[in-house]
Structure 1
Amino acid sequence: MFNVPMEVLFKVWRQKPHQSPQLQTYKLEVQAGNTILECLNRIKWEQDGSLAFRKNCRNTICGSCSMRINGRSALACKQNVGQELEMASSSNNGDVPTITIAPLGNMPVIKDLVVDMSGFWDKLQKVDPYVSTQGRKIPEREFLQTPEERSQLDQTGNCIMCGACYSECNALTVNPEFVGPHALAKAQRMVADSRDTEVEARLETYNQGTQGVWGCTRCYYCNAVCPMEVAPMDQIGYLKQDILDRKDAQSSRAIRHRKVLIDLVKQGGWIDERKFGVFVVGNYFRDLQGLLSLAPLGLRMLSSGKFPLSFEPSEGTKEVRSLIEAVQNHD
């Protein structure tokens, strides 16, 4: 099937700075095994030399050809026509299958499929993505790691900085100050490096409000689109746990949110919503201003009959508690 020729429509979103995007359609005779990058090359060489897109290695190493293909960020050199047509549930024009290609999200468009990645790189710099070690002061000496220590860096070390996770990040879309999943995955690589001597300072930096780890909304898109299985959301979770292990509930609302959630689930099998807001926002009745801020919401819930007047623990409370405690003891 990979060698059977077929006609496919490629709908490409084209755009120049400060102009509205326009959808342009190209028809190609292709094979299922052709990569999207090969198809874009043919469009540029055979039909429209003005089409702009990035490319380099053609072998899922450099990350240059990252773009949105049928609505999700991916590497054009990795995805082929057959895969895209199999995944597409609709997008057909009559009997001719269609593949839609657009630039990455969360970045300004320079031209067509080429985006300005300066913000992407600037946010990466904010996590200081270099190993901090005394080795910098002794250039003639090597600071070796055991195979076990080095293996802790394998997953995060696979990141090729393609921008796919950054493109799909919902947190960035609503909060431009969030540093981004790519940067925090790299941050975890630094924290996990046995040679780094600035772990405590790093974790303090990554703990800064919604700019750092607490800005992640755990939507899972970064994990879903990462072509190298770095799993940025998982790496953010490891950073959060490192911070939680070092902080108590009085440190910040973000810390309290996580600790209260776990404590309430341990107590009742699920969250007692009456206590959750009071403990998190009201800081266990210590924050009068926080408690007063809950009043309007509480009154609206009462008037609409949506405020829970009682709480009934789940039948599996003991099992849930034992599972949480087993995980905590294992960690």
Structure 2
Amino acid sequence: MQVLFKISRQQQQSAVKVQTYSLDVDPSTTILDCLNLIKWQQDGSLAFRKNCRNTICGSCSMRINHRAALACQQNVKAEVARSYSAWNKQNGADSDRENPDSIPVIEIAPMGNMPVIKDLVVEMDQFWQKLDQVEPYVSSASRQVPEREFLQSPEDRSKLDQMGNCILCGACYSDCNALPANGSFVGPHALAKAHRLLADTRDQATEHRLEQYNQDIQGVWGCTRCFNCNTVCPMGVAPLDQISKIKSQVLANPTLPDSRPLRHRRVLVDLVQEGGWIDERKFGLKVVGNNFKDLPGLFSLVPLAGQMLRRQKLPIKFDASTGTDEVRGLIEAVKKRQSKTASQSESTR
């Protein structure tokens, strides 16, 4: 099977150029093996990372057909099918119609949200630094038990399985939509590891961790819930799910310092529970103005309120939505379930 590989090539601080290579390979050949063939037989200057070739080390993470993936995990057949599907969707063709190009194309590029060193090799220093910010190790106090091993039951250990599958390949970090707009966000990889520590019965720093992860848009509130991290994760860690679990623990903890993101979540739910939808008049005052306690926040609302008044977008009165009782019942049921789950989790620690 003949395939064209369009590879983005780049040196530090230089413009990107796309170079095309043609290979005749078996459809089951992995993308990493194809890159090896290109390097060994056509262009020895092509740079990319690799190691285990068995989806264990995460070294060969790159963008394949516009999304982060492991080159050792993806094969030619699947990627050609993906290319056809993308072309059909773009051109409104039937799903069983093939790309009119006589030779299928697979596009390869370096991971996103990281500076390029050369070709498909990226600088990952910031990736590791942000992981370190969440203190991804069991608290030292928990390890100070010299008279015995600090063992866990099989049930407690099983709670860590999903997060423990993370191989730190950088795929979720590469395709995270929040990072380009918010450089302080620690990233989905770090927060997935963060939840592993919160779920670990040996760790004794839960309060400190929740306070740390609750910090403005640096922690869990920086996530835009774009779902990209779940989509590209090659190991099924589902970072967004872990971030949501941390948020649930933060919201259930009344001792944490108040913050605007925390008020945003709580006020939104309270207003919907009260009237079926959000009363915009109260929302700004409660969240940004902190119930008239945050004067700079209140003054920041004045220009927006003026624009809304001029455009008749500021509601004079608020009418509850139809079905408010049903909405209220759903919210109350979810809160009871979350409270029960939190109590069970606390009793097992």
The answer to whether the 8 A contact 1:10-1:98 is kept is yes
2:33 pairs, out of 13, 19, 38, with 38
Equivalent position of 1:278 in the other structure: 285
Secondary structure of 2:169's counterpart equals coil
Structure 1 residues 22, 235: CA separation in 2 closer, same or farther (over 3 Å shift)?
same
1:167 pairs, out of 170, 174, 179, with 174
1:301 pairs, out of 298, 308, 320, with 308
Q: Does 1:323 align with 2:318?
A: no
1:67 pairs, out of 43, 56, 62, with 62
Once the 2 structures are TM-superposed, how far is the Cα of residue 134 of structure 1 from its aligned partner? Answer: 4.1
Equivalent position of 1:104 in the other structure: 111
Identity %: 63
Structure 1 residues 192, 8: CA separation in 2 closer, same or farther (over 3 Å shift)?
same
Q: Distance in 2 between matches of 1:170 and 1:94?
A: 32
Q: Distance in 2 between matches of 1:201 and 1:138?
A: 21
Structure 1 residues 274, 31: CA separation in 2 closer, same or farther (over 3 Å shift)?
farther
Once the 2 structures are TM-superposed, how far is the Cα of residue 287 of structure 1 from its aligned partner? Answer: 2.6
Equivalent position of 1:3 in the other structure: none
1:79 pairs, out of 74, 77, 82, with 74
Structure 1 residues 36, 308: CA separation in 2 closer, same or farther (over 3 Å shift)?
farther
Q: Does 1:210 align with 2:210?
A: no
Superposition map of 1:150-299 within 5 A:
150-247=157-254, 251-299=258-306
Once the 2 structures are TM-superposed, how far is the Cα of residue 84 of structure 1 from its aligned partner? Answer: 1.6
Secondary structure of 1:189's counterpart equals helix
Structure 1 residues 110, 250: CA separation in 2 closer, same or farther (over 3 Å shift)?
closer
Once the 2 structures are TM-superposed, how far is the Cα of residue 249 of structure 1 from its aligned partner? Answer: 9.4
Secondary structure of 1:321's counterpart equals helix
Q: Distance in 1 between matches of 2:257 and 2:122?
A: 42
Once the 2 structures are TM-superposed, how far is the Cα of residue 133 of structure 1 from its aligned partner? Answer: 4.6
Q: Distance in 2 between matches of 1:316 and 1:70?
A: 45
The answer to whether the 8 A contact 1:135-1:142 is kept is no
1:259-304 Cα distance to aligned partner (Å, 9 max, x none): 0011111122222222211211111233333222111112112222
Q: Distance in 2 between matches of 1:249 and 1:202?
A: 11
TM, length-normalised to structure 2: 0.88
Once the 2 structures are TM-superposed, how far is the Cα of residue 208 of structure 1 from its aligned partner? Answer: 1.7
Gaps of 5+ in 2: 91-98, 339-349
The answer to whether the 8 A contact 1:249-1:255 is kept is no
1:1-50 Cα distance to aligned partner (Å, 9 max, x none): xxxxx221110000111111111011111232221111111111111111
The answer to whether the 8 A contact 2:211-2:256 is kept is no
Gaps of 5+ in 1: 1-5
Mean CA deviation greater in 321-330 or 306-315: 306-315
Equivalent position of 2:11 in the other structure: 16
Structure 1 residues 312, 18: CA separation in 2 closer, same or farther (over 3 Å shift)?
same
The answer to whether the 8 A contact 1:8-1:99 is kept is yes
Once the 2 structures are TM-superposed, how far is the Cα of residue 115 of structure 1 from its aligned partner? Answer: 0.6
Q: Distance in 1 between matches of 2:4 and 2:323?
A: 53
| Matched length | 326
Secondary structure of 2:217's counterpart equals helix
Q: Distance in 2 between matches of 1:113 and 1:139?
A: 46
Mean CA deviation greater in 127-136 or 258-267: 127-136
The answer to whether the 8 A contact 1:250-1:256 is kept is no
Structure 1 residues 312, 99: CA separation in 2 closer, same or farther (over 3 Å shift)?
farther
The answer to whether the 8 A contact 2:142-2:204 is kept is no
Q: Give the letter for the 1:13 counterpart.
A: S
Q: Give the letter for the 2:155 counterpart.
A: E
TM, length-normalised to structure 1: 0.93
The answer to whether the 8 A contact 1:278-1:285 is kept is yes
Structure 1 residues 277, 124: CA separation in 2 closer, same or farther (over 3 Å shift)?
same
Structure 1 residues 250, 157: CA separation in 2 closer, same or farther (over 3 Å shift)?
closer
Once the 2 structures are TM-superposed, how far is the Cα of residue 110 of structure 1 from its aligned partner? Answer: 0.9
Q: Does 1:27 align with 2:22?
A: yes
